[in-house]
Structure 1
Amino acid sequence: MSWQLSGFGDEVDADPVVQVAVLQALGARCIEVRSAWGTNVADLDDAQLGELDRVLRLRGQQVSAVASPVGKVPVEADPDDEVVRLRRIAHVATVLGTPYVRIFSFFTGERKPDEVRDNVLRRMARLAAVAEETGVVLLHENEKGIYGDTPERVLDLVESVGSPALKVAWDSANFVQVGVQRPHDEGFALLRPHLEYLQVKDARAADGSVVPAGEGDGQVEATVSALAADGFTGFASLEPHLADAHELGGFSGPGAFGRAARAFRRLTDRAGVTLV
């Protein structure tokens, strides 16, 4: 069994050339694009996008997903702005040759999830409709502070929207950081029918600190083993966050990124999965 290893290039360096060099040295033939030259993917102009595509194609690096910031805004923000931004990012994804676009389900702020649920679902349904129209697949990432932060609310989101263009990106560390004590035990069976993409990082429940896969409380090894057992053959994308983490992303640097990659490979080796 083999999975395609990818990683957030901008956690390595701002320069895509360096990003690809480090990823390939770690055995990753794919890259998840969140920013290039310090510019978020949503803000790349056509010239920058063309140059990024040229750099990746020249080096034979496939794009696993576009890690967009869509939905990482307050639930009260103008929904039209996110629709416009998604249309642009769908174009970026098409140029870079991937169907996958990561998104989020809106910051709830001081309001309780139940108070914003209907608003969130309306917004997510609009985004899913754009995805269906433009031919991309939205990967919802469970994230701190958004509606879809726990397994139960992620399930509510994808089942209520009910679109074939809305799938789940599983992030064990983020589940730990919102108080899910045992992410695999509590959420895997619920979300596996919708799980399309694996984001690789782990976290410690005691303080929320992000650590390499298998070194925290996210039950990453259990999830890897379960995915291997049921025939998952998709992307596993390293998002280590080992040097810095902030609202719109994180950074690791080449050394820490390599440590995260080696830790994950130990887990996949034990599960009988080859990373290609």
Structure 2
Amino acid sequence: MSTPAVEWELSGFGDEIDDDPKIQIAVMQALGAKHIEVRSAWGTNIVDLDDAQLRELKSLLDAADMKVSAIASPIGKVDVSLPVEHEVERLRRAVNAAQVLESRYIRIFSFYYGEDVAVESIREAVIERMRALADVAEESGVVLLHENEKDIYGDIPERVLDIIETVASPALKVAWDAANFVQVGVKPFEDGYAKLRPHLEYLQVKDALFSNAHVVPAGEGDGDVLRTVEALKADGYTGFASLEPHLAGAHGLGGFSGPTAFGIAARAFAKVLNEAGVETK
């Protein structure tokens, strides 16, 4: 008796393809995806799009029968010294975008801090801010996905887990990014999977090398992508896998690949999925 195929929802960061959402949608569809992750459109970040722009984007997506897997917001990618209200207000704009675009997920981060600041010293401030953000999410019916990013409080598995368990909100879950773990010296699967799997809600797909921290296509680096995919399959994961290749360049609020490099990243991940026995829909 054959084992039924496991299917995940394929998505990707459209603005890594092009600023124009029409091109973003076309390339994602060519890759077989029915979802897209929205970080920016027309060169404008998702939290800065006005209502008319959001409605136009929704119309483009509807016309193509595409849905939004997540709002890739920059919330929490600021210094922890800013007032709590600063990011709460921006999150409300991200929530509005999520509601217009009909997505239940919003990606967030857990705050930068100065080079001369001890990470342990900001824990209380981070927890206060993350709890305030989770309160907004609970009120609004959305789920926040904390992405492990280098140079923020939640950059290593132990501190990600600390945030999730301390805030203890059903509206705060984990977005897994193997490349970002590699870039802070963490072996993703060995050091983080068992700790974070109970809270893992969303998979962001990119890989990186320990030797120079360069981002590479999935399965070509030290991010244990295949082992992670195999383990997620065994655990019954059926959520999103969102391509975030970062192959052509990166800046503070995101990365870029272009259509060609994005296609390379997609084919590399497809190879990993095929080896693990996972299909996408």
Q: TM-score with structure 2 length normalisation?
A: 0.97
The residue identity in structure 2 corresponding to 1:116 is I
Distance 1:84 1:258 in 2: 36
8 Å CA contact 1:12, 1:254 repeated in 2:
yes
Alignment of 1:220-259 (within 5 A): 220-259=225-264
Tell me whether 1:58 sits opposite 2:71 in the alignment. no
Specify the SS of the correspondent of 1:140: strand
Determine which of 150, 155, 158 is the counterpart of 2:156: 150
Alpha-carbon separation, structure 2, partners of 1:267 and 1:57: 30
**Residues 1:19 and 2:39 aligned together:** no
Structure 1: where are the runs of 5+ without partners? none
Q: Does 1:273 align with 2:273?
A: no
Distance in 2 (CA, whole Å) between partners of 1:114 and 1:100 is 29
Identity within the alignment, %? 65
Q: What is the one-letter code of the residue matched to 2:201?
A: E
2:8 paired residue number: 3
1:163 is matched with which residue? Answer: 169
Equivalent residue in structure 2 for 1:107, among 112, 118, 133: 112
Deviations 1:186-236 (A, max 9, x none): 100000000000000000000000000000001011100000111100000
Give the match's secondary structure for 1:105.
coil
1:126 pairs with 2:132:
yes
Gaps of 5+ in 2: 1-5
Q: Is the 8 A contact 1:10 1:35 kept in 2?
A: yes
Q: CA offsets per residue over residues 52-96 of structure 1, 9 Å max, x none?
A: 000001001110000000000000012211111101110110111
In structure 1, the residue corresponding to 2:274 is in which secondary structure? helix
User: Secondary structure of the equivalent of 2:23?
Assistant: helix
Equivalent positions of 1:147-226 (< 5 A) are: 147-180=153-186, 182-226=187-231
Does the alignment pair 1:46 with 2:48? no
Helix, strand or coil at the partner of 1:54: helix
Distance, in Å, in 1 between the alignment partners of 2:118 and 2:109 is 17
Residue equivalent to 1:262: 267
In 2, the alpha carbon distance for the partners of 1:109 and 1:35 equals: 27
- For residue 22 of structure 2, what is the amino acid of its counterpart? V
Q: What is the distance in 2 between the residues matched to 1:78 and 1:246?
A: 24
In the alignment, which residue of structure 2 is the partner of 1:69? 74
Aligned-partner Cα distance in 2 for 1:228–1:17? 33
Q: Secondary structure in 2 aligned to 1:160?
A: helix
Aligned partner of residue 53 in structure 2, secondary structure: helix
Please give the alpha-carbon distance, in whole angstroms, between the structure 2 residues aligned to 1:49 and 1:79: 26
Q: Distance in 1 between matches of 2:84 and 2:164?
A: 18
Structure 2: distance between partners of 1:209 and 1:251:
14
Aligned length: 275
**Per the alignment, in what secondary structure is the counterpart of residue 112 of structure 2?**
coil
1:34 aligns with 2:39: yes
Amino acid at match of 2:53: Q
Aligned-pair distance for 1:112?
1.7
Tell me the TM-score normalised to structure 1 length.
0.99
8 Å contact kept, 1:109–1:145 = no
Displacement of 1:108 in angstroms is: 1.8
